[in-house]
Structure 1
Amino acid sequence: MEINIQLKALADKINQLKSKIETEESTKHAFVLPFIHVLGYDAFNPLEVVPEFTADLGLKKGEKVDYAIFQNGEPIIIVECKSWKENLTVHNSQLFRYFHVTKTRFALLTNGIEYQFFTDLDDKNKMDQKPFLEFDITNLKENIINEITKFHKTNFNVDNIVSNASALKYIKEIKKQITIELENPSNDFTKLFANKVYAGRLTEKVVDEFKDLVQKSLNQFISEKINDRLNAALTKETIKQQGEQVESIEEESKIITSEEELEGYRIIVAILRRKIPTSRVVYRDTQSYFGILLDDNNRKPLCRLHLNGSKKYISLFNENKTEAKISIASIDDIYQFEKELLDTVTLYETE
């Protein structure tokens, strides 16, 4: 099963169960261990997932981190869990203390819903204060799923993840700054644009006036870009639908219902009218055969006429709806199959 499908299934499970989960221990078993399983690790294999992981911390003994994920006999991720009701904070976290005494390069702090991945980008062997990857599992974007996939057992590569972690960290921080500037442009941000369009001296008053202009310009620009994308998508979909309609019309234009087929239909109606109203016997012409149905239902075929080739045939259906193709000399031979046609109607009426 693809990881995105597994993550979606876990998110649905969390939304259904969280109101019934009261403790940190329940959070671990219901939310965190299934996430570790999604990453491809066997939570019941002590060589892969070690609960209550302990390491020597000098004079400080007995402290434990909730889980350590192992690969090739070495811990690659240490995990600290909180109850899903708790906010995440790394202050006074065991993760800081364990990080520098193990060989791991990654630490995970989670409450089963929010996940924060840390490494040591700022100082070697010292866990960073800020996570390089952060997400809410119940609201995942495609780019985040791609990052989670890198931690899967089959993909895990320390160097690849660490080299990408720096970019993730700064992208996250830059996006935060963009959000701040969009909501309330700073002087420096305002001057960046005002200097390019305003010929006069940028006094404090001018900068204040430009703040509103910059904010409106950016919001309009983003809205226009979104609308352009939506319109392009709608246009593409419209063209696709029009193409399908043209194909359908072209397909239908190739179908010509002959007078002989209509005469065959009238013979079958005459046979069946003694048992059912004529309005229930409906024909559908196709390129390969002339089909006659009960109640215009594809699952209730009465027979099929093949009259456009050099040889003529009628197809009848047994109780298993298996088609039997029988040669006929002319449409008058249809009268020979009165019993079979009436039996087919009886079969559907019994169902």
Structure 2
Amino acid sequence: MDFIDEVRALASRVAAAKDLLQTEEATKNAMVMPFIQLLGYNVFDPLEVTPELVADVGTKKGEKVDYAILKEGKPIMLFECKKSGSDLHINHASQLFRYFHVTEARFGVLTNGIVYRFFTDLEQTNKMDEKPFFEFNILDFRDQDVDELKKFAKAVFDLDSILTTANHLKYTRAIKNTLSDWMTNPPEDFVRLVSAEFLAGKQFRAAVKDQFTLIAKHAFQQLVGDKINERLKGAMTPDASLLPEPVRVEETTAPVDAPEPSAIELEAFQIIRAILRPIVKPSMVSMRDAASYCAILFENNNRKPICRLRFNNENRLIIGLFDNNKEEERIPLSSLDDIFDVADRLKICVTSYLNPPQA
């Protein structure tokens, strides 16, 4: 099994268990230890993975880090764990800061079993940075996130290689966050810059500032929307190599007189395919229109519904999501963008088909 397949399998188990775990200890046993095992480290060998490693800090004696991963007897990674679903604010990493300072480890990981935040000492040697250089969400990841995570695996772990990319990852993340903030609240200096050539020497008065701030905000949103549409169109480009394999007629073939999907249903279908792209190939997600709804299916099989689009009235958009018992929950949408709000549930549904429960 490839590394990404192992990550997907763990994601399926985490999705099913996350709401059942009420304590930090349960989170460590059910979610964090399997994650460390995923990276190739033997959690049952204390010479490789030491739980509750004692790290004395000044007058504080007997301080313990939840897990320390060792290489040749020396810590290389420290894990500080919180209960499933807990906040991972930097203020909750105080113990990890202290452990990092008194051990030889160059990486600290703060996690709640779902999100893993990786820290190092890019700003000041032997002092853990306040901001992570890499974040991995086991329930929401991209292929490139898995590539970065794999660098921490035992088989390929190389300190210099990770540190080389850590600086790039950290500042790329920071710039993305800044640009994201600018999309909703463009700063005055940025508005001045992008509007300078249109003002032709006019003074940047309050009215002009307000006008171009609004224009800059709209331009940002349209640019992002255009880029998303380009990606979606690319994903929907016909490609014979991506066509689904033939399947049994009695299970999957749509009726000859099936209605054609509408334009808004096709757009929603493209969005759902894009959401599920980190998990499955686009060809594994298909649509089948019916009289009262449009079904989105896994492997073109009506026994594996992903969701239903109930868009017969374009002024009232409803998406039907399925639970473990195939019971449909109908959720109203104010626009197609709201589909991204239920992305996790769509991924969980498809993951359940990839990793069916054992009988």
Provide the C-alpha distance between the structure 2 equivalents of 1:110 and 1:240, rounded to a whole number of angstroms.
37
What residue number does 2:107 align with?
Answer: 106
Q: Distance in 1 between matches of 2:29 and 2:117?
A: 18
**Residues of 2 paired with 1:19 and 1:226: CA distance?**
32
What secondary structure sits across from 2:109 in the alignment?
strand
Structure 2 counterpart of 1:57, one-letter code: V
Q: In structure 1, which of residues 207, 221, 234 is the aligned counterpart of residue 209 of structure 2? A: 207
Quote the Cα distance in structure 1 between the aligned partners of 2:44 and 2:21.
22
Output one character per residue of 1:121-173: Cα deviation in whole Å (capped at 9) or x when no partner: 11100011111112321111122111101101111111111121111111111
Q: Give the stretch that moved more between structures: 15-24 or 108-117.
A: 15-24
1:78 and 1:220, CA in 2 relative to 1: closer, same or farther beyond 3 A?
Answer: same
Q: Deviation per CA, 1:156-205, whole angstroms, max 9, x where unpaired?
A: 11111112111111111111111111112111111121013331312232
Task: Please tell me the residue identity of whatever aligns with 1:144.
Answer: D
Give the aligned residue type for 1:156. F
Superposition map of 1:112-261 within 5 A:
112-201=113-202, 202-237=204-239
Q: 1:95 to 1:232 in 2, by over 3 A?
A: closer
Structure 2 length-normalised TM = 0.64
**Structure 2 CA distance for aligned equivalents of residues 2 and 23 of structure 1:** 31
C-alpha spacing 1:239/1:138, structure 2 compared with 1 (3 Å): closer
Q: In structure 1, how many angstroms separate the alpha carbons of the residues matched to 2:22 and 2:218?
A: 46
Q: Percent identity?
A: 45
What is the deviation of 1:236?
A: 4.4
2 CA distance for matches of 1:152 and 1:59?
35
Q: Measure the CA separation in 2 of the matches of 1:234 and 1:52.
A: 50
| Distance (Å, rounded) in 2 between the aligned partners of 1:81 and 1:181 | 33
Offset at residue 232 of structure 1 (A): 3.8
Secondary structure at 1:108's aligned position in 2? Answer: strand
The DSSP-based 3-state class of the residue aligned with 2:69 is strand
Q: Secondary structure at the match of 1:116?
A: strand
* SS of residue paired to 1:129: coil
Structure 1 residues 219 and 52: CA distance shift in structure 2, 3 A: same
Change (3 A) 1:27 1:239: closer
User: How many angstroms apart in 2 are the aligned matches of 1:178 and 1:59?
Assistant: 43
- Please tell me whether the aligned partners of residues 78 and 96 of structure 2 are also in contact (alpha carbons under 8 angstroms): yes
Aligned-residue CA RMSD in angstroms?
Answer: 1.9
- Give secondary structure in 2 for the equivalent of 1:8: helix
Q: What runs of 5+ residues in structure 2 fail to find an aligned partner?
A: 244-359
Which residue of 2 is the match for residue 15 of structure 1? 15
- Tell me, in whole angstroms, the C-alpha distance in 1 between the residues paired with 2:184 and 2:206: 20
Q: Which residue of structure 1 lines up, in the alignment, with residue 24 of structure 2?
A: 24
- Kindly report structure 1 stretches of 4+ aligned residues shifted beyond 6 Å: 238-241
Q: CA deviation at 1:93?
A: 2.2
Q: Secondary structure at the match of 2:62?
A: coil
5+ residue gaps, structure 1, are: 242-351
| CA distance in structure 1 between the partners assigned to 2:178 and 2:213 by the alignment | 16
Question: How far apart are residue 238 of structure 1 and its match?
Answer: 7.8
Return the alpha-carbon distance in structure 1 between the equivalents of residues 147 and 208 of structure 2.
45
**Could you say which residue in structure 2 is the equivalent of 1:83?**
83
- What CA distance in whole angstroms lies between the structure 2 residues aligned with 1:44 and 1:4? 23
The one-letter code of the counterpart of 2:145 is I
* Rounded Cα–Cα distance in structure 1 between residues aligned with 2:2 and 2:30: 20
Q: 1:58 deviation in Å? A: 2.9
Matched residue of 1:147: which SS? helix
Give secondary structure in 2 for the equivalent of 1:148.
Answer: helix
Residue 240 of structure 1, CA deviation = 8.1
Using the alignment, how far apart are the partners of 2:172 and 2:8 within structure 1? 25
- 1:68 paired to 2:64: no
SS of 2:131's equivalent in the other structure is: coil
Task: Look up the SS of the partner of 2:18 in the other structure.
Answer: helix
* Secondary structure, counterpart of 2:89 in structure 1: coil
Q: Specify which structure has the bigger relative contact order, considering alpha-carbon pairs within 8 angstroms and separated by 6 or more residues.
A: 2
